Amino acid sequence: MANPVIVEPDGTDIEIMAQKASAGDQVALNALLGAVRPETLRVCSRFLRNREDAEEACQDTLWAVARGIGNFHGRSTFSTWLHSLAANRARATYQRIRRRHDGEAPGTPLPDWADPRRTSVVAATRLDLLDALDSLPADYAEAVALRDVLGMSYADIAALRDIPEGTVKSRIHEARRRLRLCMNDHRQR
């Protein structure tokens, strides 16, 4: 599943807006941020089930786009770059929420921790997956999240990270192996 091509209702291509914004056009940047917000929120929501948490990650992502657009040089499509930023910001938001909660009430689970009597299997699996992703090296976690959660192609991930496609495949393979082990440990607890 490739990233969707984002086009404004007036037919403006997001990739063109991103190129203009990268060159310093503030009007294009403002239009770009408004145009990609819904897609950014959708991506963040795939990681974070709580709407407020997804909104926080979305805002962090848009802020990162605004600050870093000058570093976007088109090695990958803007949409691919955006999805990567959103995935990383969603994971970082989850880590912040965990640390904040752990600091407030050491030893107690997160309020929305998976309780099988009240939580769907999908939600429980999502929380376990976020915890398991935290245990992986960053390169592995990012590669497997981009591929398995967001559905990016190996080629898109390779272009985004400027590494060979074979390296992407090996990172994903190893990440999946480690995730299986970690997820099995979570289930056995």
Q: Helices (H) and strands (E) in the chain — how many of each? A: 8, 0
* DSSP-derived 3-state class of residue 162: coil
Which CATH class, in words, describes the domain spanning 14-188? mainly alpha
What tens digit of pLDDT does each residue of 12-26 get?
A: 689 999 999 999 999
| pTM of the predicted model as reported, rounded to 2 decimal places | 0.66
- Alpha-carbon distance of 92 to 89, in angstroms, equals 5
Place of tokens 């969603």: 90
What tens digit of pLDDT does each residue of 33-91 get?
A: 999 999 999 999 988 888 899 999 999 999 999 999 998 888 888 988 999 899 989 98
The total number of residues shown for the chain amounts to 189
What tens digit of pLDDT does each residue of 143-158 get?
A: 888 888 888 899 989 9
Reading the block at residue 137, the tokens are: 């090296």
Q: Which residue, among 145, 156, 126, 141, has the nearest Cα to 4 in the 3D structure?
A: 156
Please tell me the predicted confidence (pLDDT) of residue 65: 96
Parse the chain into domains and list their residue ranges. 14-188
